[in-house]
Chain A
Amino acid sequence: MSGSGAAAGTNLDQGFPGTAPVVLRERGQCEVFCGLSSIVWLHRKMHDAFFLVVGSRTCAHLLQSAAGVMIFAEPRFATAILQERDLAGMADCMEELDGVVTRLLARRGDIRTLFLVGSCPSEVIKLDLHKAAERLTRAQANVAGHQVKVLAFSGSGLETTFTQGEDQCVAALVPELPRAPAGERNLLVVGTLADVVQDQFGRLFDALDIGPVQFLPGTDTRAFPPLGDGTSVLFAQPFFNETAGLLAARGARLLSAPFPFGVEGTLGWLAAAARAWGVSDARFDAVTAAPAARAQRALIRYTEVLAGRRITFLPDSQLEIPLARFLARECGMELVEVGTPYLDRRAMQPELDLLPAGVRLVEGQDVDRQLERIAADRPDLTVCGLGLANPLEALGLRTKWSIELVFTPIHGFEQAADLAELFARPLIRSARLKV
């Protein structure tokens, strides 16, 4: 199945009559976070990692605004703010950075991996953070008893949209993965998952006799899973374009599957691994039937609320297409418009195949025109970023904040109903309120 993405993409561009959604492309103001915001959940997942953004006060302000709810948590991220003297060449940026990193690491003995995170300004002034990371790793190796790996990736808004920050971060980890002996099989699940979800999937793979299974990123950044030509990769999230390329280049086989949202998505996702491991249909059904049935029972309560309701997705987290598929096919919602920041055909083809015919799919964004369409369409629910939610509510429209979808465990059978509940809650609330 690996390597079929490009061909499928070409086919789709030529059009599958009757089934392929028409993709409208829009260009204008994009109302999305940049990749730096991924740090908010990445630093909670990787317990021994520190994220040092090399950027401006805007970067620091974005991080604390996006992480507003977490302000009481211990921060394992910070910003090295570029100042006028750095830009005017009065200070050597690299020397300054060395100083900041040395001070930081001296204070934080618990840090095993330090990510230097590039930003818009650091990219424009062409600060080479990869080179800095290599140098700093060497320098740290000289400090006895305190081995810290320094890596670099970009979270800049010039290059990345919101969740793509996680793609860049994981891509920076790929070269660190040890080479697996030739022919030795393993399953690598890529994408931050809540610990509870990771354990659930682990049990299912065990029952299916699929393994060994490793998850990336993990809580311990020094325990890297092996990677080789016997590695099969399942993506738990749809935004791993860069990582996918690097993994394929190392000989891994990328499994093509829908994403594990809802019962159907989870079944399809597990089935991709099952096929790769030659698990019999009978075995697969025996393992998945009970949890799938339980998830379907749990879903009923919310499908009653959601069925027939109309929903619009603004482009934001890249989860729009898989979630639209789940809400349309399992919850009976009507898709008014599905926006996506960019369309990664390789990752999305299995999802596109499942979308209802004729859905209005929009790639890119012109937020003002999109809001005009929402005002005209008046969907029952709009999925959007935090900046737009209250203004839409003030127009009498119900909304769901998209950022909740990356902070909440929503993958797999046991979370299918929780996922539906996130969309049902604004509608239930609206029905309750008499003011």
Chain B
Amino acid sequence: MQLTVWTYEGPPHIGAMRIAASMRGVHCVLHAPQGDTYADLLFTMIERSERRPPVTYTTFKARDLGTDTAELLKTCVQGVHERFRPDLLLVGEACTAELLQDQAGTLAKSMGLPIPVVPLELSAYSRQENWGASETFYQVVRRLLHSQVPPPGSAPRARAGGHRPTANLLGPTALGFRCRDDVTEVTRLLNAIGVDVNLVAPLGASPADIARIPEADFNCCLYPEVALSVCSWLERMFKQPTVKTIPIGVGATRDFLREVGALTGINVTAARAAQASRLPWYSRSVDSTYLTGKRVYIFADATHAIAAARICAEELGFQVVGLGTYGRELARDVRAAAERYGIEALITDDYLEVEAQVAELHPELVLGTQMERHIAKRLGIPCAVIGAPFHVQDCPARYAPQMGFEGTNVIFDTWVHPLMMGLEEHLLTMFRGDFEFHDEAAPSHLPTSATAKAQPVQTEIAQQQTPQASAPSVSPAPGDPLAWALDAERELKKIPFFVRGKARRNTELFAAERGIQLITVETLYDAKAHFGR
């Protein structure tokens, strides 16, 4: 048993629903009890979807368990076929139905419906949502393409000459972070260098579209969480190459163009150098010097976390102090990325562990999911959302991609916005006792509702795990009698609150290393001189 307060991912059948809800002409039957229909609201409320997800639940109850839940499933499948007339039917089980062992998928397949029926084995007790999405997408693609697979040893399919190269954009889904706008942006990016998009899948694709996947020259694996297994299969079966660079950030977008250029023989030099992104200049402009070395903590899905780390380090001049993901499937990639920044990745789906690490590291900015927004709000740290799970406010009406050059503009604005503006920060340092600029004052461009300072509304759980976070003036670890003299404590309070935590920790570390037991004003400034800003 695993104690869970909040969960990053839903169960695997939510992943299957995301594939069904992304596509056209697909319906999903879930063998599930009453109550599991809550999942519809994820689509209709968070993404404001205008249609119900194309999902029908058997909604069995206790009284059905005594009779025949398998028969209920068959009636349901037949009814769905007659009512919705889908071109393809997905049939899977949610957690409770898995225990009944009705073999829902196999049963539905044996019904002889005149459409492809794809049974799903979703492993509710060991897997999670992204795996469920990836597995479902893979099963759909395999089912629709297996008859087209060329015999082993065949040469890659010959393309007719004289056409512009074409690409499939694979991975965008319903409830994926900014997928709608990323598709538009990447399509523009490719069109500009002379590559056409053959199709996008699963978002907006019909089963007939899926059957056209092999017609493209290559695949862009935009969200590996969902599309990596499909892309690998297409590489093996159809010799269709995959562009693996994910174009989030200026450097990554340029790398993406280079990779596409190398694959298609198109000269992308001009496109790579185009002034399509304002990020490089905004980052070099003098106002941005205050961003230098800002300590940033990153935790999200692997795709967005890895991209964010590179942008922070190379394009905004931040210091990446923490990097992690809840997605175990791509943990290795995140570990490798973290190594590049000299830190160790945190791979966990335990929200409390993330909270403890954020509290311990005292970052000045958190980039994460809805959960990290929650954590950052409690700890009074500015935060921007960079990946799923996200809330309705992160599904904006305006065009707000993460990918491509426009994505870099969006990212610059969104990540810098929560921070104190440069001059304001300096004024705070200068006039720390100012009656208007004080600990509780938030950045002046943010609404007053955000001014609530570091609210100690931490749960007991959080406090237990992070004694440092809310430690009072004295931090006496057992056997380590470290105390602050009154005047040193007073001096510490004159340091702006957003660096005060760091100053306290640095000073205590400095004192501990030197065996100093009472921290004085002198110790404080000795430590400051030792560590620098």
Contacts and interface: CB of A to CB of B under 8 A. Distances in A.
Interface residues of A, number: 65
A24 B33 CA distance: 23
B459 interface: yes
Interface stretch (B40-48, B160-168, B493-501): B40-48
B41 A387 contact: yes
A113 B100 CA distance: 33
Given A58-B10, A71-B6, 6 more contacts: A34-B35, A78-B5, A93-B1, A99-B1, A121-B95, A391-B44
B33 A120 contact: yes
Interface in A91-128: 91, 93, 96-97, 99-100, 103-104, 107-110, 120-121, 123-125
Nearest to B63: A158
A75 interface: yes
A35 B61 CA distance: 13
Contact of A72 (B7, B126, B128, B377): B377
Contacts of B42: 65
Contacts of A389: 44-45
A103 to B, nearest CB: 7
B35 A107 contact: no
Contacts of A123: 62
A30 B59 contact: yes
Interface string B58-72: 111110010000000
B460 interface: yes
17 contacts: A32-B34, A68-B391, A75-B6, A80-B1, A80-B2, A81-B4, A82-B125, A84-B125, A97-B1, A109-B460, A120-B33, A124-B96, A157-B34, A158-B60, A158-B96, A391-B44, A394-B50
A385 interface: yes
B370 interface: yes
B533 interface: no
A35 B14 CA distance: 20
A64 B44 contact: no
Contacts of B378: 72
Interface string A169-205: 0000000000000000000000000000000000000
A245 to B, nearest CB: 17
B281 interface: no
A161 B1 CA distance: 26
A280 interface: no
Contact of B3 (A29, A78, A125): A78
Interface in B383-407: 391
A188 B61 CA distance: 32
B86 to A, nearest CB: 14
B177 interface: no
Contacts of A385: 41
Max chain B C-beta neighbours (<10 A), residue from A31, A56, A58, A391: A58
A72 B11 contact: no
A57 B60 contact: no
Contacts of B95: 56-58, 120-121
Nearest to A119: B96
A62 interface: yes
A156 B60 CA distance: 12
Contact of B37 (A29, A54, A60, A120): A29
Interface in B1-60: 1-7, 9-11, 13-14, 33-45, 48-52, 56-60
Contacts of A156: 33, 35
Contacts, number: 190
A99 B3 CA distance: 10
A99 B34 CA distance: 30
A195 to B, nearest CB: 20
Given A29-B57, A158-B62, A387 B52 contact: yes
Contact of A83 (B76, B125, B459): B125
B356 to A, nearest CB: 12
B464 interface: yes
A392 B125 CA distance: 34
Interface in B123-153: 123-126, 128
Contact of A57 (B7, B37, B45): B7
Interface of A: 28-37, 54, 56-58, 60-62, 64-66, 68, 71-72, 74-75, 78-84, 86-87, 91, 93, 96-97, 99-100, 103-104, 107-110, 120-121, 123-125, 156-159, 161, 368, 385-391, 394
B298 interface: no
B34 A391 contact: no
Contact of A386 (B5, B9, B44, B56): B44
Nearest to B13: A58
Residue with the highest number of chain B CB atoms closer than 10 Å, among A28, A35, A57, A87: A57
B529 interface: no
B11 A82 contact: no
A387 B36 CA distance: 11
B514 interface: no
Contact of A34 (B3, B33, B49): B33
Given A57-B11, A60-B7, A158 B33 contact: yes
B340 interface: no
A156 B128 CA distance: 21
A157 B460 contact: no
Interface in B98-134: 99-100, 123-126, 128
A391 B6 contact: no
B65 A158 contact: yes
A75 B41 CA distance: 21
B94 interface: yes
A68 B5 CA distance: 13
A429 B4 CA distance: 39
Contacts of A57: 4, 7, 9-11, 95, 124, 128
A152 to B, nearest CB: 16
B99 A31 contact: no
A89 to B, nearest CB: 13
B423 interface: no
Given A29-B56, A29-B59, A61 B7 contact: yes
Nearest 4 A-B pairs (CB), nearest first?
A34-B35, A157-B35, A387-B40, A394-B50
B3 A159 contact: no
Nearest to B83: A368
Contacts of A65: 38-39, 41-42
A72 B34 CA distance: 28
Contacts of A62: 35-36, 38
Contact of B49 (A86, A104, A391): A391
Contact of A391 (B10, B35, B51, B76): B51
B274 interface: no
A156 B44 CA distance: 24
A72 B374 contact: yes
Contacts of B44: 386-391
A99 B2 CA distance: 10
Interface centre among B39, B44, B128 (most CB of A within 10 A): B44
Contacts of A36: 35
Given A33-B35, A58-B36, A388 B99 contact: no
B10 A61 contact: yes
Contacts of A157: 33-36, 59, 61, 96
A374 B94 CA distance: 29
B81 to A, nearest CB: 13
